[in-house]
């Protein structure tokens, strides 16, 4: 595989294996069903809480380690009726497979289309050439892919300052998830759609209902009328094209490239939801890791209020939070043709899963698997060679991999500039114990003290 060309022929050391019936049932019980139960498009809070108590992601990692020990590192095929299913077990195969998109490993899987089709049928993730190229270009332009500081940074700083001030005034001495989530969605709507969308809670609620239907994929008939009303409401915000908003650029770019802007921006709003979860979890890690908090505060003092879009260490904390608890745990690909390996092949139409928590938390591969290690994203030249893919990788990598962490780090910085925080559930995290496999953000809260 040559990542520069994006072509794929073979992985010479990989031996394709086929799992037995008992191992297939164990894979279903320990990996597939718990992942589906938490919600693949919108999280089910009670199931996330149950998953933390049961440590289901830790069990999933151990199951995949056992399968790798039994069958070897090559792709493992499961005897699922109707459609070949395979899981990747070798860390050395993760990036080459993701680099081989969209052919032969297409991100536009049948399963993904059945899920996202409930509210964004024309989004780039489930598009095929030639539409995929135009939609990816749209996202690259609007989101300024690969640019660490988005051109909206100054406007975003003002938005974050205003919304955090309001949130802290209302929260008093205790910050709950509900308090934070309300402020977070206001920040996101103002950034993406403009100040006029600040209080459009109805838009967010409509998207949430559509996403809950998406959790059920093709088994749910969907809400066609709600989908139509949602896109009309979102389209009105885009048509308004409020100066300085992401929608302003999206409107122009959508017309130039003939790309349906509402589908792409629906995905932006969707993608920012797990961003809020990551922000709250990052705050919990900082509150329980004194060295990381001290370094963060030193960085805040060094850059000052005007430099919060360039907080390299705090942004690294955000990314390592995503490594520890990926908000997209399963990365799916579909083979468009038979893919030959040295020891067998994946048939055309195989649904391939890369389970990110396995590779991010595999202590057999990573010495830092179960600790908070933001320094690896700053000083770690080894990262490109490791299977750490919190934003996926290759041609299908998330185009918002800079914008969303910038937004998260700016929001956290604004809170820390005004308050000292203490995690009220301190027993759930500690810098003296391994990081738990799941952290339920919905039940976190912080005691706040004025600085």
- Residue 6's alpha-carbon distances to 87, 95, 96, 335, 393, in angstroms, are 21, 11, 9, 14, 12
Output the six-digit token pair for 227: 């989908």
The Cα–Cα gap between 24 and 43 comes to 25
> Is 80 exceeded by the pLDDT of residue 12?
no
pLDDT tens digit sequence for 192-211? 999 999 999 999 999 999 99
Q: Per residue in 184-195, pLDDT tens?
A: 999 999 999 999
Q: What is the pLDDT of residue 13?
A: 60
pLDDT of residue 384: 78
* Helices of type H across 325-366: 356-360
DSSP secondary structure of 277-312: HHHHHHHHHHHH-HHHHHHHHHHHHHH-GGGGGG-H
pTM for this structure?
0.95
Is residue 117 scored above 50 in pLDDT?
Answer: yes
Question: Which of 307-311, 320-324, 410-414 has the weakest average pLDDT?
Answer: 307-311
């Amino acid at each position: 595989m040559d990542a520069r060309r994006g072509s794929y022929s073979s992985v010479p050391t990989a031996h394709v294996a086929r799992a037995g019936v008992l191992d297939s049932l164990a894979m279903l019980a320990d990996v597939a069903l718990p992942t589906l139960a938490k919600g693949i498009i919108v999280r089910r809070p009670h199931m996330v809480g149950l998953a933390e108590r049961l440590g289901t992601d830790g069990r999933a990692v151990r199951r995949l380690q056992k399968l790798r020990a039994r069958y070897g590192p090559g792709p493992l095929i499961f005897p699922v009726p109707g459609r070949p299913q395979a899981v990747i077990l070798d860390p050395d195969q993760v990036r080459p497979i993701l680099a081989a998109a969209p052919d032969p490993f297409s991100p536009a899987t049948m399963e993904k289309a059945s899920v996202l089709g409930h509210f964004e049928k024309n989004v780039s993730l489930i598009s095929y050439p030639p539409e995929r190229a135009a939609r990816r270009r749209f996202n690259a332009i609007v989101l300024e892919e690969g640019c660490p500081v988005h051109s909206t940074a100054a406007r975003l700083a003002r938005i974050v300052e205003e919304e955090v001030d309001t949130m802290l005034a209302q929260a008093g001495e205790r910050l709950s998830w509900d308090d934070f989530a309300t402020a977070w969605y206001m920040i996101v709507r103002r950034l993406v759609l403009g100040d006029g969308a600040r209080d459009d809670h109805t838009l967010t609620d409509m998207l949430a209902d559509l996403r809950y239907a998406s959790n059920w994929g093709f088994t749910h008939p969907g809400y066609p009328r709600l989908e139509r009303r949602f896109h009309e409401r979102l389209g009105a915000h885009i048509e308004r094209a409020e100066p300085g908003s992401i929608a302003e650029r999206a409107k122009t770019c959508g017309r130039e490239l003939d790309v349906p802007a509402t589908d792409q921006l629906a995905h932006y709003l969707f993608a920012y939801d797990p961003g809020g979860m990551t922000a709250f979890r990052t705050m919990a890690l900082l509150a329980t890791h004194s060295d990381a908090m001290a370094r963060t505060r030193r960085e805040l003092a060094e850059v000052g209020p005007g430099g919060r879009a360039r907080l390299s260490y705090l942004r690294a904390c955000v990314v390592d939070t995503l490594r520890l608890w990926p908000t997209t745990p399963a990365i799916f690909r579909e083979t468009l043709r038979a893919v030959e390996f040295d020891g067998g092949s994946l048939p055309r139409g195989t649904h391939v899963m890369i389970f990110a928590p396995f590779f991010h938390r595999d202590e057999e591969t990573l010495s830092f698997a179960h600790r908070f290690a933001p320094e690896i994203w700053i000083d770690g030249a080894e990262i490109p060679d490791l299977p750490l893919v919190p934003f996926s990788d290759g041609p299908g990598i998330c185009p918002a991999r800079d914008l969303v962490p910038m937004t998260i780090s700016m929001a956290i910085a604004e809170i820390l500039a005004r308050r000292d925080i203490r995690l009220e559930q301190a027993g759930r995290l500690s810098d003296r114990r391994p990081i738990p496999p799941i952290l339920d953000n919905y039940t976190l809260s912080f005691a706040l003290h004025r600085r």
